[in-house]
Amino acid sequence: MKRFALILAICLFLISCKGGGTRLVEKPTIAKINIQVNGKDSVMDLKSALMRVTPRQSSDPAYSYAEYNFTLGNFDLTDNKALEAALKAGTAEIVFFRVLGPSGSTKDTPLTVGTYSADAKGLPKYDILSLKIFTIVNGKQTWVGSNVSPVYDTKGEVKITAIEGDLIKGEIDLSTGTILKARGNFTAQHAFDKTFADNPNVNEP
């Protein structure tokens, strides 16, 4: 119970407290995300996805830009009870990644349709160190991040295919050597309040 309480505390940053008192309702699967963590393949049933914009600020405008942070989960990311249930069942899976806007973009700069590549020489681009996947394997709950492997091992791209109001549709095909892979389609809700951390790596166990 002590270990579970620790993991629960670590993961609660993902969601808003607004859902804590509501009855748990299982969300339908909206897409499939193929993932690989440390050589182990699996398929995540995507049930909820959020995107939040945070600014990266610098005195040099060329190094100031918007960060578009995506969190994909196989449970309702806005419901505390859903997270607790997924952790207790040992089924919780989360994929986090980030794309970077053009130089000079701010938190108020809308994300645009296009391809954000790991190979881009400049902004905008996919943040090559941002891919992180949370899984539970044999009872062990852990984040694995692309920053554990050399930069040259990171490949792939994020395609934003459509933006309809607060909904962002896209495709990911990302990998970091044999450590991490994530591939599939997603539809994310633009979250305007602090519903998940800017960087899941901050509170890794």
pLDDT at 139: 86
pLDDT at 3: 44
Query: Is residue 76 domain-resident?
Result: yes
CB 146 within 8 A of CB 180: yes
Query: Is residue 8 domain-resident?
Result: yes
pLDDT at 147: 84
pLDDT at 149: 72
Query: Is residue 160 domain-resident?
Result: yes
Query: Is residue 204 domain-resident?
Result: no
Render each residue's pLDDT in the chain as its tens digit; 205 residues.
Answer: 444 444 444 444 444 434 444 577 889 999 999 999 998 999 999 999 999 999 998 887 778 999 999 999 999 999 989 999 999 999 999 999 999 999 999 999 999 999 999 999 999 999 999 999 999 988 888 999 998 777 678 999 999 999 999 999 999 999 999 899 999 999 999 997 654 433 443 344 3
3-state DSSP assignment of residue 66: strand
Query: Is residue 17 domain-resident?
Result: yes
pLDDT at 162: 98
CB 87 within 8 A of CB 11: yes
Query: Is residue 74 domain-resident?
Result: yes
Question: In terms of residue numbers, what domain contains 144?
Answer: 2-193
Whether the bond between 124 and the residue before it is cis, its omega within 30 degrees of 0, is: yes
Query: Is residue 182 domain-resident?
Result: yes
Query: Is residue 134 domain-resident?
Result: yes
Number of domains in the chain: 1
pLDDT at 1: 46
Work out the angle between the directed axes of helices 2-11 and 80-89 (0-180°, nearest 10).
140
CB 62 within 8 A of CB 103: yes
Model pTM?
Answer: 0.85
The CA distance from 103 to 87, in Å, is 39
